[in-house]
Structure 1
């Protein structure tokens, strides 16, 4: 999408465009309401700062589990480093993560190997809930940034 066109969209259409990048309606509304943006970098900065802890659960509803072999589209492309060699280990580690934190493991997987992501998941299992929430929000911000950069390229 062109930034000039995005800036000119009606609010509801701008929110819809943002929801394609991140399924958190509050985040999308805050970013849409911050328009117009003079540059894509200004949009990215606003997207980073608009993300709040309350957005995490809504955003996670739009994300598949890392290592889920049924994933397609953009998520499959982002997770392409996760091969069959670690799929079973991911299933077990994902189950442990979900039991500990009550939500799916979220990580910016783009460009990372399955072994690296699995090591990250296992390390994060040692986080306390507050640290893990901050970590998940940082990862979500990184995913949003990549998706917005792709959308506005």
Structure 2
């Protein structure tokens, strides 16, 4: 564990946080529409901008690298910068970020058999690799997520640790990219004036 570990950092969204719903054809917000969230991020004090990225990635080094390269002309540039900063992390940094991730369970209304299967799969994965299973599910609808996670865990359990570390790092970068895109969209919504003047 390095000094960039997750201790004391804000909880990131769960690994399965961003998925498509029937009302949302794409989990990644449009990169071509007006971007008040990005404008806010570009102009915010460094510590405030770093906190936005830190909540998505859990690594101060990763967050600082993204913030240092402001301003970004568009969301695509920000997400590319986030990817680049993620690639620049050392293996120890990536391990520290993965150690801070947490797996998500199912809604309480899901069948008990589904809870049992998912819990068992996560337990087997974490026992072998020492961190939560991470996967970005932006390409799938909510009704596909359980099957994708179970299939992913079963497939990846056959990997050697070095191979799985590389795959986990790639999924982690995709997940952080998704979280950051949503953070920009959420900021845009909070900056939008209430049409009723409230």
TM-score (norm 1): 0.80
- Match of 1:104? 132
Secondary structure of 1:2's match? helix
Structure 1, gaps ≥5 residues long: 71-82
1:33 is aligned to 2:33 = no
- State the 4+ residue runs in structure 1 displaced beyond 2 angstroms: 52-64, 66-70, 83-86, 109-113
Structure 2, gaps ≥5 residues long: 1-35, 186-198
1:17 deviation in Å?
1.0
- Match of 1:94? 122
Size of the aligned set, in residue pairs, is 141
Secondary structure of 1:130's match? helix
| Structure 1 residue corresponding to 2:167, chosen from 104, 125, 135 | 135
TM-score (norm 2): 0.64
CA RMSD of the aligned region, Å? Answer: 2.1
| Structure 2 residue corresponding to 1:16, chosen from 42, 48, 51 | 51
Greater RCO (CA < 8 Å, at least 6 residues apart): 2
